[in-house]
Chains A and B, each alone.
Chain A
Amino acid sequence: MVKTRISGSQAVVLLFLSRMFALLTVSGGRDGQVGGGLAVLAALCSFLFQLALFLPGWLLARRHPGQNFAEAVTGCLGGAGRGVSLLLWLLLVLLAGMSAAEFEHFLVSAVYEQAPRLLFAFLFLAAAIYGAWLGLEAFGRFAYFGFTVFALLAVSLCFSLAGDFQTGELFAQTSASPASFLRTAWSMAAGDIELLCFFLLLPSLRTGEDKGAPAGKGLFFAWNGLYTLAAAGFILLTVGVLGGNPSTGQSYPFYTLACAAEGSLLARTDAIHMSMWGILGLLRCCLLLYCASIALRCAVTVSSRRKSLLNWAAGHRTAVTAFIAFAAALLLAGSPAALNGLRRIWGGGIPILCVLALFPAAALVAGAVRSKKRRKEAAGHGEAP
């Protein structure tokens, strides 16, 4: 079967934009985190946590070249691996629904007050499913357009708000404990589901392995480095313009910045920001749903003879994934408490630790044990008379 491939730069742009959506959707209310200039430093330091999260999966990928994360785990852990793949599928679909719910929550609260939530979730996820169905190359190429829009908006925002930037705000909160600093840095790295997507897409990346370079390592540094710098810049702008602690400040600070910035031609730039936000959200959902389908394909193989719900689901991955994501979005958007709760759980970092540290570690250990056993057996056969 011909595999879909995208270039390294497309992957970098895609993963970067997906991560930026999470940054734009940050909302306040998280206690015990640093503010002011320290928040900027924490953003820069979060790169180290991301690197730590990257390493186990990377080792697994090196042990199993040509296989994605789910395939490698399934291969090492067998039946348990399939369960892990199914769990990954569920997690990715849930996050896609959560992304749709967050965007929907904002739009319905602020802009379209009389709009039915059902319609929002349906439209948004329908477009995302369509993009995911078209394939990785389609939304990988589309990511360049999104990146151009994002870059233009970011630059114009910086120029518009440059006059309102107050450097004094950066030094407002100078005292912070190391624990709160680390907590802030960790929370910024904890929501990095894109690492999992990266490992799931690794075989689909055209990364010059024919030249002998290890695939993907450079891409990690490129996209995470870009994201870290962008996050630090965004937090810098938020703190300098809006002041105070961005984590305990108002929800959607980027939207607030867009409201405050006024271009000369447009009285309000928040409409442009909303459109850009939608583009980022769509890309993120496309990516998550596509990766979910990869995980589901690894979890259940389609068999024409086996008649079971799971088999039917595996043969109709698009429909099933769409339905679950839609249901998740609807439930979460209708219940802000549930959305906040899920956000806290996800932001706490336990799920990402399990996915990116625990599972690869278990797979590596299981794989090492298996290969040792195989070597022993092979040696035993060789010695037999």
Chain B
Amino acid sequence: MGKLHKGSLLALSVLFCLLLCGCQGLGGKSPNQRSVAQVMALDLVPGSEPIRLTLRVLDEEGSPEGPASFRTVQAQGKTITGALGEAGRQLGKEIFLRDIRLVLLGEGLCRKGIDSFQNFMSQSYQIRPRVSVAAVRQEAAPLLEADDSGEAPADSLVPLLEWNNRPGNPAVTVMEAERLRSAGEGDCFLSLASLDGEGKGEVSGAAVFRGGRLARLLDVREAEQLRLLAADPRQSVVVVSLPGGGSASFRLTGRKGRLHGSSVQNIPQFTSKFTFEFQLLEFDGNSEDSSNLEELERALEEKVKGEMEECIRKVVFDSGADVMGMAVSQRRDNAEWWNRNRDWRKEREGETLFEKSVFYLDIKCRITQTDVSIPLIGT
């Protein structure tokens, strides 16, 4: 009885003191002491505090039953963390970043380099491992400005850009970031967001990054080629002109195979053996001559190969961005060469080994699904 008496008295005293002091233990805060950010936009502005942060935060005063209402807060700082601190001071609450769904990066920041942003994302436990990131032509902040109805262009971008496990996004998966880091490369591509004519947000292309800096902006068609290269099935619709006249449209449903890296006389070589799977969406051709499955597949292969070659030339060689994972494939398949030539991007005698790379594209296309009732003849 004595032991319990002493022990329980001690525990009660400690508890009473803790409650009296309002001790928050491990620094937690009640929900009403936090402000939940949903969309973050980062721009580069001239001045001593070059990072301009715009946040779209949840307005907690709204009713939980009705649609969510937001407000926008803007702050500047020398670093992203500094700007966040300033935004928190403006709001009077701690900013909760762990529910951010979309990050928009302004063109100025992209050209300067997104290394600091990548570091912020990968080291911060706060951000979800999979969050959508997009580049924006010119400034990102206007996409967060709400109109009279309270809607901002960024709101419509969120469902467009939420994606899983796509290569190229610097923060899309931790695994990809790890692979890129171990390959010593930081090239990637992001979707390019902008305002449409009606003031709504739209995806208008892609932004290619080399070494963490913006190398090239691609238009919609070029972005589709890039998505084909990266096997992103969203918006990867291929329209093929049929030999007998007419056209057919297909949607990419999957890609098998990978890039193989090798070297011949120290020149890196890449062989891509890809098998693309398509779903036939629409068929507008001569049913007698053009409904042969093999013909369609052949037409597809020609189209896809052409698109990919064009994309590789423009994106990979003209911009110098390794968006296909060439470095990763060399590291994996040709480790000895890779260990000797990790600096393959360095100029030697006016050109780099990277630029000398030779590509062999071995493409096969398979039509695996169709929802069009045409008599496809297969042999």
Contact = CB atoms under 8 A, between A and B. Distances in A.
Does chain A touch chain B in the assembled complex, meaning CB atoms less than 8 Å apart? yes
Interface of A: 110-115, 119-120, 164, 166, 168-169, 171-175, 241-245, 249-250, 256, 259-260, 262, 267-268
Nearest to B339: A175
Interface of B: 25-27, 125, 128-130, 165, 173-175, 178-179, 181-183, 258, 328, 331-333, 335-336, 339
B26 A172 contact: no
Given A111-B125, A242-B179, A249-B182, A172 B27 contact: no
Contact of B27 (A113, A243, A245): A113
B25 A260 contact: no
22 contacts: A112-B26, A113-B27, A114-B27, A166-B332, A169-B332, A171-B333, A172-B331, A172-B335, A174-B335, A242-B175, A242-B178, A242-B182, A243-B175, A243-B179, A244-B178, A244-B179, A244-B183, A249-B178, A249-B182, A260-B175, A262-B130, A267-B128
A73 B339 CA distance: 50
B61 to A, nearest CB: 26
A208 B2 CA distance: 41
B174 A256 contact: yes
Contacts of B328: 243
Given A173-B335, A175-B339, A267-B128, A260 B174 contact: yes
A168 B328 CA distance: 10
A32 to B, nearest CB: 15
Nearest to A114: B27
A70 B308 CA distance: 70
Contact of A112 (B27, B128, B173): B27
B128 A110 contact: no
Contacts of B125: 110-111
A372 to B, nearest CB: 51
A36 B179 CA distance: 12
A171 B175 contact: no
* Centre residue among A119, A164, A168 by max chain B CB count within 10 A: A168
Nearest to A111: B125
A173 B335 CA distance: 6
B335 A268 contact: no
Contacts of A267: 128
B131 to A, nearest CB: 11
A218 B18 CA distance: 50
A304 to B, nearest CB: 22
A119 B175 contact: no
B127 to A, nearest CB: 11
Contacts of B129: 259-260, 268
A327 B173 CA distance: 39
B42 to A, nearest CB: 21
A268 B128 contact: yes
B27 A168 contact: no
Nearest to B330: A172
A282 B336 CA distance: 44
Contacts of A242: 175, 178-179, 182
Given A175-B339, A243-B179, A260 B333 contact: no
Nearest to A106: B125
Nearest to B94: A114
Contacts of A119: 25-26
A259 B125 CA distance: 10
A256 B331 contact: no
B335 A241 contact: no
Please provide the 4 A-B residue pairs with the shortest distance between their CB atoms, ordered closest to farther: A114-B27, A244-B182, A115-B26, A110-B125
A65 B288 CA distance: 91
Nearest to B122: A250
A115 B183 CA distance: 36
B128 A172 contact: no
A130 to B, nearest CB: 12
A364 B157 CA distance: 74
A241 B128 CA distance: 18
A267 B128 CA distance: 9
B340 to A, nearest CB: 11
A179 to B, nearest CB: 17
Given A111-B125, A114-B26, A171 B174 contact: no
A172 B183 CA distance: 10
Contacts of A268: 128-129
A243 B178 contact: yes
A290 to B, nearest CB: 21
Given A243-B182, A249-B182, A168 B335 contact: no
Given A260-B129, A260-B173, A168 B178 contact: no
Given A119-B26, A175-B339, 19 more contacts: A115-B25, A119-B25, A120-B26, A164-B175, A168-B332, A171-B332, A172-B335, A175-B336, A241-B175, A242-B175, A243-B175, A243-B179, A243-B328, A244-B178, A244-B182, A245-B182, A256-B178, A260-B174, A268-B128
Contacts of B165: 164
Contacts of B331: 172
Contacts of A114: 26-27
Contacts of A111: 125
Contacts of A250: 178, 181
Nearest to A268: B128
A77 to B, nearest CB: 39
A148 to B, nearest CB: 27
A110 B128 CA distance: 13
Interface centre among B25, B175, B336 (most CB of A within 10 A): B175
A14 to B, nearest CB: 27
A357 to B, nearest CB: 36
